[in-house]
Structure 1
Amino acid sequence: MDLKFNQVCINGFEIGKENRNYKFHTDLEPILSLSDVVLTDSLPNELRTEKYIKQYQITLERMKITNKHAMLNPCPPFFRNEEVSIDAIPSDYFVGYEFKKNLLCVQQAIILFCLGITLD
């Protein structure tokens, strides 16, 4: 599938070693300009600070930096005005609720793709 994954947060929270499909960054906005899908995750307690939220919160203004037709898909549970601002949730970018309804189908399709199985 050759998906490119850019993780953005402070040092110490990276999920792995960089490779051709995974890059770690600490500066959010330059990566948003390359993004088609923006995923968020709940913040651990030690990152629920005003400084961190201001630096990394996905807002409507920041979503406007993304590629045309980009999607915002926060991973539940997400907390309004922490990882995602209140104004981003009712926007056209937000696909969280609809996407989650289809998540099992998406996961099954990925498994089939990885196994080389096609459905006619």
Structure 2
Amino acid sequence: MTLSANRDFLEFHDLPADAVLAILERAGELGEAWRERRMPQSLEGLRVALIVDDGGWRNTTALDLGIQAMGGICVHAPVSLGGREAIADLAGYLDNWFDMIVIRTPELASLQELAAHARAPVINARTRSNHPCETLGDLAYVRAKRGGIEGLKIVGVAPDANILRSWVEASISMPIEVVQVYPGDWHVSDPALLNPSFRLSTDMRELEDADVIFTDSWPSGVPEGDVAGYRISTEVLDRCRPDAIFIPCPPVARGQEVTADAMAHPACQSVSAKAFLLHAQNALMEWIVAKAEISASR
């Protein structure tokens, strides 16, 4: 299999809204197939390089499992984009053997350089700047629960970091509103991300009418008093809508951004949401393969 059409997924808004909506719908179907142990073999023969350049395990484990479950071949390649080999050279060597490259690496710029030189599609499995697969999985879960995502208000109680940034990327292309609620020193200021569907706030009352609430770790080295007012507790969640979906980002530091009892609140659906990371990533890879094959046939 040769994926002649380059369908990279480096930032969430790389894909048009109609493509993402199709992927989210397909993720729900693949979730059903997973539970019934009848996964389609739509990645049969696909040779995928899985590169983990900075630790982590959830989405890369799900990628490995999903590729194999759908008939593909997944190889863990011990590659580093910060090593002695030029990134352009690495792209050529990987293209010799692989149809797709999935990589978790610190620097988005290095990942973009790899994608610019590789013929194979490149999927961003996480950088320090963004984490689009994580947001794709969470949105797939929300869609499955709600039946759609249009018009959702999504509030991130989080500093300017990779989880929040991918939600802001999603607000650029998707029919959702994203609000960052955090002290002003940690507000997103990147002009490439600012858009009409993204707002900044310091007011925790924004959570009270939110459809989805997510968190991320406290900034390192910050005095607790600077951010303690943004801790999610059962009292905070009790003031929210009864159908609100709370997705604290793992690993959760109980007692910091989230209290221990908040993790047991009915709104907290982190475990269920993260199950959809597998299904959404499977649907993304399936979409990339399908689009490449259509392009090659023309």
TM-score of the two chains, using structure 1 as the length reference: 0.78
Deviations 1:9-56 (A, max 9, x none): 11121224553211011121x201121111000112233514522x10
In the alignment, residue 246 of structure 2 is paired with which amino acid?
A: L
Shifted more, 80-89 versus 8-17: the winner is 8-17
In the alignment, residue 202 of structure 2 is paired with which amino acid?
A: T
Secondary structure in structure 2 of the residue aligned to 1:83: coil
Q: C-alpha displacement at 1:112, in angstroms?
A: 8.8
- Report 1:30-109 matches (<5 A): 30-53=205-228, 55-106=229-280
Q: C-alpha displacement at 1:66, in angstroms?
A: 1.6
Relative to structure 1, is the Cα distance of residues 89 and 49 closer, same or farther in structure 2, using a 3 angstrom cutoff? same
For residues 91 and 15 of structure 1, the distance between their equivalents in structure 2, rounded to whole angstroms, comes to 29
- Gaps of at least 5 residues in structure 2 are 1-173, 292-298
Secondary structure in structure 1 of the residue aligned to 2:279: helix
In the alignment, residue 214 of structure 2 is paired with which amino acid?
A: L
State whether residues 42 and 79 of structure 1, in contact with CA within 8 Å, keep that contact through their aligned partners in structure 2.
yes
For residues 108 and 2 of structure 1, the distance between their equivalents in structure 2, rounded to whole angstroms, comes to 23
Q: C-alpha displacement at 1:8, in angstroms?
A: 0.8
1:13 aligned to 2:186? yes
For residues 112 and 48 of structure 1, the distance between their equivalents in structure 2, rounded to whole angstroms, comes to 45
Greater helix content: 2
Relative to structure 1, is the Cα distance of residues 32 and 98 closer, same or farther in structure 2, using a 3 angstrom cutoff? same
In the alignment, residue 91 of structure 1 is paired with which amino acid?
A: H
For residues 65 and 107 of structure 1, the distance between their equivalents in structure 2, rounded to whole angstroms, comes to 33
In the alignment, residue 13 of structure 1 is paired with which amino acid?
A: W
State whether residues 48 and 82 of structure 1, in contact with CA within 8 Å, keep that contact through their aligned partners in structure 2.
no
Relative to structure 1, is the Cα distance of residues 46 and 65 closer, same or farther in structure 2, using a 3 angstrom cutoff? same
State whether residues 218 and 227 of structure 2, in contact with CA within 8 Å, keep that contact through their aligned partners in structure 1.
no
How many pairs align? 112
Secondary structure in structure 2 of the residue aligned to 1:102: helix
RMSD: 2.4
Which one has the largest radius of gyration?
A: 2
For residues 32 and 111 of structure 1, the distance between their equivalents in structure 2, rounded to whole angstroms, comes to 34
State whether residues 208 and 241 of structure 2, in contact with CA within 8 Å, keep that contact through their aligned partners in structure 1.
yes
State whether residues 36 and 68 of structure 1, in contact with CA within 8 Å, keep that contact through their aligned partners in structure 2.
no
| Alignment partner, residue 27 of structure 1 | 203
Relative to structure 1, is the Cα distance of residues 112 and 48 closer, same or farther in structure 2, using a 3 angstrom cutoff? farther
For residues 12 and 108 of structure 1, the distance between their equivalents in structure 2, rounded to whole angstroms, comes to 37
Secondary structure in structure 2 of the residue aligned to 1:72: strand
